[in-house]
Chains A and B, each alone.
Chain A
């Protein structure tokens, strides 16, 4: 179980890490980033099971971050934890990025723990189901060796199998 936390305030991240380290199973790995860009870079390297970010951040807001993250790891549940309670912001976030949950600061610990664990568990279940289905398809010959390799590569380095075309025909190799 791999959790990604993004917030520009390190204290918040620390508090959340403490909380989740204690509340989640030992096997769970909670990774936190105060820079959304660093987090996105990391996301291209490591697959996560859930992602939780702040809304108001210096580099980009939560919605923009999650949209970018979705491009890298589309299946991962996305959560926002923010002090911003504007209805507009909330609605935009839900519609733009397909939020799993919008959580409000200050938060109730149990709420956070439950939301993160549930979303990650759900994702793990889905991944397992897909993996089983793929294996079954491979066994039945429905899945080509290329596809299997593609999935392997994708699991190893998320997003590597997808070419990101720019509007001018250029190929984007990196986020920047």
Chain B
């Protein structure tokens, strides 16, 4: 680089400027071979702030600013000592610490030559010099300095900004490149990173080589046009797909400006790697598509707005429920039109604007709430009287749509027509109320039914008890009925016997009547005959014995055994009377026994009479088997059914007779007794017969139980007797010992009903 001072000085001297004055503007110094200062002029002193005296003998280090490293000075001195001049810019520090820049030329002075070497043709800030004179070492060094602080400051700023640019360019994330349509003139590190190529490789190729083939030509032409200055002066933005060294596709957002560069123009391009964004965009587009499909295909009425409130989706279901076609809504920020008659933000818009919490009450009056499911979402339920035929209940759910960074980029809102559900709810509520009342009613019914049931159960239990009791009663009754039936049978038998007996008695009574009467007459007649015979005998006695009449009378008396006849007649008559009397009595007893003429009424009766008449009837059964012994006590009359008691006695007597084995006369004892204290009488019939085995004694009162051969007994006798005695409130007891005989005892209360407690 040509030094301005050199030019200035030469030009100035040539123009006749005083060299001393000129020299005074230069900072001159002289140093010995060691670099210690031998001489300084005024300018030097002014510049550094030291006095000449302070500077003499001192090395230059005194004013060094240390901006240049020691190596810089080492190199400089090496050059100087080698005899070559050094020219460069130095930063010095004055006495006050302030820095000042000088353009310094140091000339080595040898003993033989003092001529200054020719200045180098150009160069930067670094020392250059011509070689020293050969063979001689410099022993003095002349320094000529010119204050260049201002220049340096400007330069430095320029350089600094260049450096800063460079540093910036290297450090920014954006790729930077400079080109003139051909090879890249400059690339920064970011381009390396995003292309995968190294800087050296990049500087060997054109920008277009990186671009994907389909865009390459377009871009080349565009760049050429820019370079020619066509089109607008503003920066152009391109979205450029490039291929990395690895063959991957990356998207760059390239901003190109045309700048003046060196002798012409260049294109400075900055490129941002937007592959991520591009991918995100693609993904978003995809998502948008999916969203579109989802939203459009959803049966749930749904619309979507973007962050500006513009409706981006309005699905078919939404069209139906709002009666508003998508064409009317899409692309406009007027979602409210579908719902309200005046402009107001919809729920989604409130979400998008972010001030939902603040404004919600003014629009929804507490009908809105945070969604319990979706974060950031809100729900509202409103009635729209304008919608549908009878208005609609709509349930809104609006949720924010966020990008990857969480910013709200829109909102989606769904509406559910709740009308049916509301109606259903209402119906349900009514139904539930109804149900509740029904349940209440049923509960009450149930309670009463339960009470009834319980009552019923207890009634049933009671009736079961009752039924059981009845059953028992019935069983007993049945048994009694059977007894009664048998008794009736027997009674009927007896009744018919009684009727028969009555008829028979009547028939018998006639002959008895006249036989008996005739016997009386006969007796009288005989008495008469006897008297006549006696008179005749007395008359005959008057005749002589040989008188034929006397003889005839005597013969007749002898022939007919007259004396015996007369003697026997009374007995004959008496016996005939007896016989007739017995017949009469039997007939009377038979009638008595059957009592057909006196019914079945309870009456006070003499048991002995009953016993005797019964004995009379069964005498035929007994008289050939046993002797009957009566041991009657004094008995009061007993209130009873006499004919039935007679049956009891009959059975006991017949059984007693039958108990006596054939071939021997037994003995039947009939005893009676009266227990006045107990109000009871008893009749006992005992025999000395075969007796009853113990195992059978329990069964003898059972109906149809009999030990007699078929045809001889019905097996009903004792059973009937037992029933009759029970009916009288009495007891029928039996004692028996096999081989010794049996004793039956009938205990009866004197007064009817008195013995019920003692009934066995």
Interface residues of A (CB under 8 A from B): 9, 11-12, 14-16, 18-19, 22, 56, 81-87, 104-107, 109, 112
B513 touches A87 (CB 8 A): no
In the complex, which residues of chain A have a beta carbon less than 8 angstroms from the beta carbon of B699?
A: none
Binds A, one of B186-194, B362-370, B418-426, B516-524: B516-524
Binds A, one of B288-296, B502-510, B608-616: B502-510
Expressed in whole angstroms, the Cα–Cα distance for A22 and B522 within the complex equals: 12
B524 touches A22 (CB 8 A): yes
Residues 346-360 of B contacting A (Cβ, < 8 Å): none
A to B CB contacts below 8 Å, 22 in the list: A11-B511, A12-B510, A16-B514, A16-B517, A18-B518, A18-B521, A19-B517, A56-B506, A81-B513, A83-B506, A83-B509, A86-B502, A87-B597, A87-B598, A104-B509, A105-B510, A105-B512, A106-B509, A106-B512, A106-B513, A106-B517, A109-B516
B517 touches A107 (CB 8 A): yes
Q: Which of A82, A83, A109 contacts B517 (CB 8 A)?
A: A109
In the complex, which residues of chain B have a beta carbon less than 8 angstroms from the beta carbon of A56?
A: 506
- Complex: chain A residue closest to B521, CB-CB: A18
Expressed in whole angstroms, the Cα–Cα distance for A81 and B513 within the complex equals: 10
Asked whether any CB of chain A lies closer than 8 Å to the CB of B278, the reply is: no
B591 touches A12 (CB 8 A): no
Interface 1/0 per residue, B35-50 and A, CB below 8 Å:
0000000000000000
In the complex, which residues of chain B have a beta carbon less than 8 angstroms from the beta carbon of A107?
A: 513, 516-517
In the complex, which residues of chain B have a beta carbon less than 8 angstroms from the beta carbon of A109?
A: 516-517, 520
- Expressed in whole angstroms, the minimum distance between the Cβ of A57 and any Cβ of chain B is 11
Q: Which of B502, B505, B518, B598 contacts A15 (CB 8 A)?
A: B518
Expressed in whole angstroms, the Cα–Cα distance for A19 and B584 within the complex equals: 20
- Expressed in whole angstroms, the minimum distance between the Cβ of A68 and any Cβ of chain B is 22
| Interface bracket on B | 20 to 34
- Expressed in whole angstroms, the minimum distance between the Cβ of B536 and any Cβ of chain A is 22
Expressed in whole angstroms, the Cα–Cα distance for A95 and B676 within the complex equals: 43
- Expressed in whole angstroms, the minimum distance between the Cβ of B270 and any Cβ of chain A is 157
| A9-B514, A14-B514 known; A105+B520 contact, CB < 8 A | no
- Expressed in whole angstroms, the minimum distance between the Cβ of A17 and any Cβ of chain B is 10
Expressed in whole angstroms, the Cα–Cα distance for A84 and B520 within the complex equals: 23
Q: Which 8 A-B pairs have the closest CB atoms?
A: A83-B509, A15-B514, A83-B506, A105-B513, A105-B509, A106-B513, A15-B517, A106-B512
Q: Which of A14, A16, A84, A87 contacts B506 (CB 8 A)?
A: A84
Expressed in whole angstroms, the Cα–Cα distance for A12 and B516 within the complex equals: 10
Interface centre among B513, B516, B580 (most CB of A within 10 A): B513
| A9-B514, A11-B514, A87-B597 known; A106+B584 contact, CB < 8 A | yes
Residues 597-643 of B contacting A (Cβ, < 8 Å): 597-598
Q: Which of B505, B515, B521, B524 contacts A83 (CB 8 A)?
A: B505
In the complex, which residues of chain B have a beta carbon less than 8 angstroms from the beta carbon of A9?
A: 510, 514
- Expressed in whole angstroms, the minimum distance between the Cβ of B681 and any Cβ of chain A is 28
B521 touches A85 (CB 8 A): no
In the complex, which residues of chain A have a beta carbon less than 8 angstroms from the beta carbon of B521?
A: 15, 18-19, 22
In the complex, which residues of chain A have a beta carbon less than 8 angstroms from the beta carbon of B597?
A: 85-87
B520 touches A19 (CB 8 A): yes
- Expressed in whole angstroms, the minimum distance between the Cβ of A80 and any Cβ of chain B is 13
Interface centre among A9, A19, A82, A105 (most CB of B within 10 A): A105
Expressed in whole angstroms, the Cα–Cα distance for A60 and B584 within the complex equals: 26
In the complex, which residues of chain B have a beta carbon less than 8 angstroms from the beta carbon of A104?
A: 509
Total CB contacts across the A-B interface at under 8 A = 64
- Complex: chain B residue closest to A14, CB-CB: B514
Expressed in whole angstroms, the Cα–Cα distance for A81 and B506 within the complex equals: 11
Expressed in whole angstroms, the Cα–Cα distance for A14 and B521 within the complex equals: 11
Expressed in whole angstroms, the Cα–Cα distance for A24 and B704 within the complex equals: 61
B518 touches A83 (CB 8 A): no
Instruction: With A106-B509, A107-B516 given, name 12 new contacts (CB 8 A).
Output: A9-B510, A9-B514, A11-B510, A11-B514, A15-B513, A15-B515, A15-B521, A18-B518, A106-B512, A106-B584, A107-B517, A109-B520
Interface 1/0 per residue, B567-598 and A, CB below 8 Å:
00000000000001000100000010000011
Residues 243-289 of B contacting A (Cβ, < 8 Å): none
Expressed in whole angstroms, the Cα–Cα distance for A84 and B514 within the complex equals: 16
Expressed in whole angstroms, the Cα–Cα distance for A109 and B516 within the complex equals: 9
In the complex, which residues of chain A have a beta carbon less than 8 angstroms from the beta carbon of B507?
A: 83
In the complex, which residues of chain B have a beta carbon less than 8 angstroms from the beta carbon of A82?
A: 506
- Expressed in whole angstroms, the minimum distance between the Cβ of B498 and any Cβ of chain A is 11
In the complex, which residues of chain A have a beta carbon less than 8 angstroms from the beta carbon of B509?
A: 83, 104-106
- Expressed in whole angstroms, the minimum distance between the Cβ of A153 and any Cβ of chain B is 38
- Complex: chain A residue closest to B524, CB-CB: A22
| A56-B506, A106-B584 known; A83+B513 contact, CB < 8 A | yes
- Complex: chain A residue closest to B506, CB-CB: A83
- Complex: chain A residue closest to B583, CB-CB: A106
B516 touches A106 (CB 8 A): yes
Expressed in whole angstroms, the Cα–Cα distance for A14 and B518 within the complex equals: 9
Expressed in whole angstroms, the Cα–Cα distance for A22 and B528 within the complex equals: 12
B514 touches A12 (CB 8 A): yes
In the complex, which residues of chain B have a beta carbon less than 8 angstroms from the beta carbon of A18?
A: 517-518, 521
Expressed in whole angstroms, the Cα–Cα distance for A86 and B499 within the complex equals: 11
- Expressed in whole angstroms, the minimum distance between the Cβ of B741 and any Cβ of chain A is 39
- Complex: chain B residue closest to A12, CB-CB: B514
- Complex: chain B residue closest to A104, CB-CB: B509
In the complex, which residues of chain A have a beta carbon less than 8 angstroms from the beta carbon of B580?
A: 106
Expressed in whole angstroms, the Cα–Cα distance for A83 and B583 within the complex equals: 14
Expressed in whole angstroms, the Cα–Cα distance for A82 and B509 within the complex equals: 8
In the complex, which residues of chain B have a beta carbon less than 8 angstroms from the beta carbon of A86?
A: 502, 597
- Expressed in whole angstroms, the minimum distance between the Cβ of B593 and any Cβ of chain A is 14
Interface centre among A15, A84, A107 (most CB of B within 10 A): A15
Interface centre among A83, A104, A106 (most CB of B within 10 A): A106
Expressed in whole angstroms, the Cα–Cα distance for A16 and B520 within the complex equals: 11
Expressed in whole angstroms, the Cα–Cα distance for A15 and B520 within the complex equals: 10
Expressed in whole angstroms, the Cα–Cα distance for A109 and B580 within the complex equals: 14
In the complex, which residues of chain A have a beta carbon less than 8 angstroms from the beta carbon of B518?
A: 14-15, 18
Expressed in whole angstroms, the Cα–Cα distance for A105 and B508 within the complex equals: 9
- Expressed in whole angstroms, the minimum distance between the Cβ of A90 and any Cβ of chain B is 9
In the complex, which residues of chain A have a beta carbon less than 8 angstroms from the beta carbon of B591?
A: 85
- Complex: chain A residue closest to B596, CB-CB: A86
- Complex: chain A residue closest to B510, CB-CB: A9
Interface 1/0 per residue, B517-538 and A, CB below 8 Å:
1101100100000000000000
Q: Which of A12, A84, A85 contacts B513 (CB 8 A)?
A: A12
Interface 1/0 per residue, B217-239 and A, CB below 8 Å:
00000000000000000000000
In the complex, which residues of chain B have a beta carbon less than 8 angstroms from the beta carbon of A81?
A: 513
Expressed in whole angstroms, the Cα–Cα distance for A173 and B513 within the complex equals: 38
- Complex: chain B residue closest to A86, CB-CB: B597
Expressed in whole angstroms, the Cα–Cα distance for A113 and B736 within the complex equals: 56
Expressed in whole angstroms, the Cα–Cα distance for A22 and B517 within the complex equals: 12
In the complex, which residues of chain B have a beta carbon less than 8 angstroms from the beta carbon of A16?
A: 514, 517
Expressed in whole angstroms, the Cα–Cα distance for A115 and B135 within the complex equals: 229
- Expressed in whole angstroms, the minimum distance between the Cβ of A20 and any Cβ of chain B is 10
Expressed in whole angstroms, the Cα–Cα distance for A121 and B46 within the complex equals: 222
In the complex, which residues of chain A have a beta carbon less than 8 angstroms from the beta carbon of B505?
A: 83
In the complex, which residues of chain B have a beta carbon less than 8 angstroms from the beta carbon of A15?
A: 513-515, 517-518, 521
Expressed in whole angstroms, the Cα–Cα distance for A19 and B510 within the complex equals: 15
Expressed in whole angstroms, the Cα–Cα distance for A12 and B520 within the complex equals: 14
- Complex: chain A residue closest to B580, CB-CB: A106
Expressed in whole angstroms, the Cα–Cα distance for A22 and B524 within the complex equals: 9
- Complex: chain A residue closest to B516, CB-CB: A106
- Complex: chain A residue closest to B591, CB-CB: A85
- Expressed in whole angstroms, the minimum distance between the Cβ of A63 and any Cβ of chain B is 15
In the complex, which residues of chain A have a beta carbon less than 8 angstroms from the beta carbon of B584?
A: 106
- Complex: chain A residue closest to B514, CB-CB: A15
In the complex, which residues of chain A have a beta carbon less than 8 angstroms from the beta carbon of B598?
A: 87
- Expressed in whole angstroms, the minimum distance between the Cβ of A152 and any Cβ of chain B is 39
Interface 1/0 per residue, B485-512 and A, CB below 8 Å:
0000000000000000010011111111
In the complex, which residues of chain B have a beta carbon less than 8 angstroms from the beta carbon of A22?
A: 521, 524
